[in-house]
Structure 1
């Protein structure tokens, strides 16, 4: 099942949803917590976990964060062009960094926790202009 690939439709229908709990990134030297993480990234230096801060701390890890997770609810096609650039630009214009994780169905944006409401407003403005 393929998702939406038209940029205008993606922007108009992205419907961002803000998660209530703070997230973080942490290195898991022995792979502990990988099954419970929201996302994992295997790099040469080790396994990065993206998970709620509370869970990372419970594993005894030293998470970087806190970050807010914003999920775009539209099913975006993995081959769609321009969505990441558009929302990264909108957030960048507000001085908000964006760490992006793409799943099969949705894009998830991790932003500074204290700027989460500003990020949501910027994304909603972007959707409204599409």
Structure 2
């Protein structure tokens, strides 16, 4: 069942840091990617996310190893943190609370909300710091 109250979302977020780095690849409208993207041996590369902006082009978020296979220089290298709470899409305040906490530590955060969980992309060098900050935030919410 989706959680929509802020206290419940924060206390149940169970942040998980993924081991493998991800990268943002930005393709301008002059050179959009052709799909499917193929890596070595013709293996399809499936992006974690693909965002087509109205005028600026397409951004892909892929694992760093896949970006290297495409011979693309990343625009941003990140660690992905998944918030395991099944947050309701209409829930209010989770992104703001998480962003505020990471802002206090000078950690950039790019958020993608999926149907069940939120995924945060933080600077590759600050992944562990972000994870610890989010664990503390969740603990504080549980303590009340």
The alignment's TM-score, normalised by the length of structure 2, stands at 0.84
Which of these residues, 32, 41, 49, is aligned with residue 60 of structure 2? 49
Asked if 1:12 corresponds to 2:11, the answer is: yes
Q: Where does structure 1 differ by over 4 angstroms across 4 or more consecutive aligned residues?
A: none
Moved more, 22-31 or 118-127: 22-31
The counterpart of 1:30, out of the listed 24, 30, 33, is 33
Structure 1 window deviating more from structure 2 (111-120 vs 29-38): it is 29-38
Runs of 5+ consecutive residues of structure 1 not aligned to the other structure:
none
How much has 1:35 moved relative to structure 2? 6.1
More deviation, 61-70/81-90? 61-70
1:98/1:111 contact within 8 Å kept: yes
Distance in 2, matches of 1:82 and 1:6, equals: 8
- CA RMSD across the alignment: 1.5
Structure 2: unaligned runs, 5 residues or longer: 38-43
Q: For 1:81 and 1:23, how far apart are their aligned partners in 2? A: 27
**Count of equivalent residues:** 129
Question: What is the Cα deviation at residue 27 of structure 1?
Answer: 2.1
Is 1:84 paired with 2:95?
yes
1:67 pairs with 70, 75, 78, which one?
Answer: 78
Q: Deviations over 1:34-60 (max 9, x none)?
A: 960001110122111001111112123
- Contact conserved, 1:53 with 1:65, CA < 8 A, in 2? no
Q: Indicate the structure (1 or 2) with the bigger Cα radius of gyration.
A: 2
Deviation string 1:11-53 (CA, Å, 9 cap, x unpaired) is 0000001010011100242244396000111012211100111
2:33 counterpart SS class: coil
